[in-house]
Structure 1
Amino acid sequence: MADLCSVPPEILVPAANETLELALGSQIALNCTVRWAATEGCEPVPAWMKDGQWLGSESSQDTTWFAQNASEQLLASILQLNLTHDADFGVFACWVSNATATFTLRRAEVAGHVPAVLAALLVLALLVLLAGLYVRCRLSVLLWYRNHYGELEINDGKLYDAYVSHATTPDDRKFVHFIVKPQLENRYGYKLFLDEQTILPNSEPSADLIMNVSRCRRLIVVLSIAYLEQDWCNSSFREGLWRLLELSKKPIFIVFESQYREITHPAISILKQHRSTVTLLVWRAGSMTPSSDFWKELCLALPRKVSFQGAMGDPQTQLQEDKDPMLILHSSYLDSSGDLHPDGDLGTGLRGCVFRSPLPPRIGGSGAPTASAAGVMEDAQLRAGQRPELDISDLGSRNYGARTDFYCLVTEDDI
C-alpha cells in the first residue's frame, strides 16, 4: 500500500454516510470519489470492507485522473453488488488513505397485498354496520333528540295536540278509536280531537273546522278509500290541500298499504309531489307493534310532549271535561291583575290559588244591590276557607292571548 498523504484526501462522494433500503434481488453500484493535491507525491489506494472484513483489491473498479488545473488528482472507486441474499446486506466502508466513507444497506420490506385486502374488508364491514345501524336506529335517535332538545310548543292556547279527521265507515272508526287514539293518548300522552264529518264541504273550510283546528297543534287525516270518495277529494283535492296547509302546520296523512298500492286516485300522486309540505305515513302489516317505525314517524310529526311533576300531560289540556274558561259567564274570573305572570308560569306547575276580582259593575237599576250582595257572599266564602263552585286553579297556566279563535264574553244578565 502506498504511503499515506500528509493531508487526508477529501471525499467528494458520498457527501455523508449513506443509508440505503433496497429490495432483495436488486443491484447497486457504490461510488466512492476522493480528491487530493497532486504535489503531495502520494498515490492513495482505495480498499473496501464489509462489516469490518476486507473484500480484496479486485472487488472494485478504480479510476484516477487529473483535474482541469492539473494541481489536483481525483480517484473514483466503484463497488458493484448483487443483493440476492440477506447476507449481501450490511455496512460497507470505502477506505482511501486515512479517509473513510460508509454505506449502510438494509433490506426493504415489500408491502404485501394481504394486509391491504384485510384493511379494505374491515372498512367495508364497518360501513355496512354503520349503514345498518342508521337504517334501524335512525328514527329512535331522532325521536330521542327531539324529546330532549326539540322545540317546545306550550303556552300557545291550544287545547289538543292533534285534530283527527276520518270517514264514517266502521273500518275507519275502529282504526281511529281502537288503535290510533289509545296508542297516542295512553302510551304517549297526546290529546286528540276526533271528527268524522267532512272537513271541506264544497272545498271550503267550515266555521266549525276553523274553530276546532285552531284549538289543535296538528291535523291528522286518515286517507282511506272511503275518505277519498268524498266530493272535495274527487273534484278539487289540490285546492283542498292548500286550504288545509293554511289551517295547519304540515298536516299528516295516513294511508293503508293494502290500499296504497291499488289506489289510482290523483290525490295520492299530489301528496307524493308535496312531500316537503305534508307528512305521508303508510300503515303496514307490522305497524300494529308499538315499537314499529310508523309510531316513531307519527310521534316525530307531532309536537314534543313535556312531562311536568305532579301533573299528567300538558297543563293546558288538563281539564278537558270541564267548561272552557273562555266561555265563563262572568269574565271577571279571567282577571289576572294579582298574578305576577299573567301568561302563566309552566316552570312551577299549576297554580293552586284562586284568581278573583270584583264582579263587573252594574249601570244603575235594581240589580246593583244584588251584585253587591254576591260580592259580599263571595268574600265571606273565601274568609271561611271555602272554594267557589267553579275550579279555575289552572287559569294561570293558560295563555289565551295566542288563541286563533275568538269568543264573546258576556254576563248572565246580557244573555
Structure 2
Amino acid sequence: MAGSCPFFVNDFNLATITFRMQVLGCPYRKYGLDCNQPCNCSNGVNCHGFDGTCLCPKGFESDSCENLNPVLDVKFNQRHIYLPWGSDYDLVCTSHGLTNGDIQWTKNNEKLWAVNTIVPEKYYPKPVKSVHQLQNVTTEHNGVYTCETTNDTSVSLKTTVNINVLEIPTPFIEGPNIQSVLIGDNITITCRVKEPVEIAFWKKGQANSKLFSIINSTNTMFIKNNPDDGLYKLTILNVTLLDESEYRCYFGRDFLDVNLTFAESHVIVNVNPLKPFPSIYKHDSLSTEIKLPVLDIYDVSNGDIINMRCEVNLSKPVVELSWFLDGSPFMESNKYVETDDNLLFNTSIEFLKTATVSDNNRVVTCVAENSIILKENKTVYLNVTYKPVVEIDPESASITEGEDLTFTCSSNSNPMPSSYVWFVNLSNGTKLINQNPVLKFSSVTTDFNNAKLRCEVENSIGKSYADVTNVTVKRIEISLKIILPCSVVAAVVCVAILSLIVYKYRFRIRMMQARQNVYKNREGDKEFDFFIAYKSGGGDEDFVINVLTPKLEEMGFKICVHFKNFLPGSTIIDNITEAVHNSWKTILVLSPAFLESGWCQYEFETALGNMLNQRADILPIIYENVLNLPNLDKNIQSLLKTITYLNWNGGNIDEDQKIRFWKDIEKNAPPRTAGQMADNNNEVQEAVELKEI
C-alpha cells in the first residue's frame, strides 16, 4: 500500500511526504482485526492472523495442534539418488513432532557421522536436522542409507535413501577413495587400471588453489607401481595436517592433458582433542581470562545464575557438544566454534540457568561426539544452597480445653538447619520459647485460644519462619440437664458393681467378719488353745507328733490331738465335734493326703462351721503344696485366699524360715485370758519348787 501526505500553510504546499506501507500480519500467536486475540494453539504453534485457525506444522495434528504424529523426511523427498563419480552430496534428514528428537544416519546397521542441529522454530518440540556428508563419491558409497530415531526416543521411526554412483571413468577398475586418517598414522591410496598404460604418476593439490603438483618419493611419501597388475599405490607415513589434500592418479599415452585421465581422492586428517575432554569451567562473561575448573560439584546459591562452559580444544573435525539435565536434553545453550588456521577447532557450549531449590542435587552432563571419537562426557552435580523452607503440621488447630496440643516444624534447606526455635505468645500475655522441632503442650487451657505461634529455622545461609494460622481452644460447658442424668446413671452403675462384688465374694466376707468376732468374748470355758487336724499315718503324723505338738506345748499352749485327747468308746464324729468346740483355733495340716481323707474333710467342715458361727478360728499350715491341685476344695480355696497360711514345705526350709514359722504361729495364737496367765505361772512355780526339793 502506497500514499502521500501533503503539508499546507495558508494554502501553500510546503512539502509532501510519500510513504509505502507493507502489511506483515499480526505478531506471533495473535490474530484479529486489531491483533489483540491470543491464539488457542497448543505447543507454541502459531495461528492464522485473520481467523485464528491453528497452522499445524508437519508432525502436529488436531484443531489445536495438541496431538503429535512424529515423521521423518529427507531432502526433496528423494528415495533414489544418482550421483556422478567423484561428486559431493549432503544427506539431510529432519524429524518433525518428535520429543527428544535424537536421530541418526546408518548404513548396514553401522552409525555414520552426522551433524545434528535444532531448527530454530518457536513451537515445541522443535524439528531436528541431521546431515551426513558424502564427498568424492565412488561405487563404495552405493547402498541404502537409513535415517532413524535413536534408542533415547519413545517413538521408533525410519526412512531410507538409495545412493547410486555412476560408473568409474575409463580406464580405471578401482579409483582412490576418500579416506580419513588420524594424525601420526599411515595411509595408502590405491588406483587400478584395466590395461597397461605408458604413463602413470600422482599429483597433490596445492593449498588454497586449484593447482596440482607432481609427487615424487620421499622419506615420508613413496610410490609403488606394479604395471603388470595395473596396480598403483601412494603411501604416506606419519601423516601430518599438511598431508590433508586432494590426490590424483593420472594415466595415459603421453603427458598431454588431452591424453591423460585421472581419478581423484581426498585425504582428511583427523586430530583427537586435547585431554581431558570435555572440560567444564565456571564461566564469567565479564572475566574471560579466568577459568575455574568444575570438578564434580557446582556450588551456587538459590536465585543466582548457573553459568558453565563445556570445552573441547584443538580437535578435527569439529566436536559436537550438547548439555543434558538429569538425562534430558537441555536446549537453551549457546554454541561456539573457533579456529585460528581452519585446521584445528576449539568448541564450547554455555550452560545458563537461574538456580532454584528444585535444582539441588540435579545432574548436569556435557556430551562430546564426532566421527573419530566415541561419546565422551563430563558430569557435575548441582549444589544449590538456600535458606530453610519452613512448614508446620498442622497449619491450624481447634481443640477443647484439657486436650493436648502438638505442632511439628519441618524444613527443607541446604545446608541442614542449625536451629529450630518456637515463639509462643498466649492470650494472657505469657511468652514461651522452645528449641525443639516438635512443640507439645499437655492439657491446654483457654489461655491458648488465639495464641500466636511461630517456628523459626536457621542455617548458614539465613533464617525463615512459618506461623500457625489459627489456634482455637473451646471451653468445656456442661449443662445441669446433662450432669444430673449422668450422676444418677453413675450412681446406679456403682451400686450395681458393688452388689456384684459383694455377691461374688460373700463367702470370704463372711469369714472375715466371723474371725473378727471370735475373740470378742474370750473369757469362756474352752479347754484347749489349738485342735490339730491332720491325716494319720505318713509324714503328716510324724510332723504333728514329733515337731508341732511338742513345740506348741513348750510355748505354753494347750493342745488337743487325736492320740492324746480322743475318748475311747466315743464315735469319731463325736470326738471331732467335741475337739473343735472345746478349742479356740483349729490348725489344719494341709497335704494331698489330707484332701483325700473323708475324716479330715469332716474336721475342716466342722471347724469352718464354728468359725462362721463366731465360736472358733482356723489356722492353715501347708505341710505339702496343695495350691495347684485340680481337686482342691472350693471352700479351702476361699479360706486360703482369705486367711494368711503358714508354709512348712515338708520341713525343707532353713533355720531362719523355721524361726519365722514359730513366731507367726505365736502371732496367730488365740489371746491369753488372765486366768490362763495365772494358771501358767502357777505351773511354772510348782515346777521350780519340785526341782528344789
The answer to whether the superposition gives a TM-score over 0.5 is no
Q: Which has the higher contact order (CA 8 A, sep 6+)?
A: 1
Is the helix fraction higher in 1 or 2?
1
Q: Which has the larger radius of gyration?
A: 2
Is the strand fraction higher in 1 or 2?
2
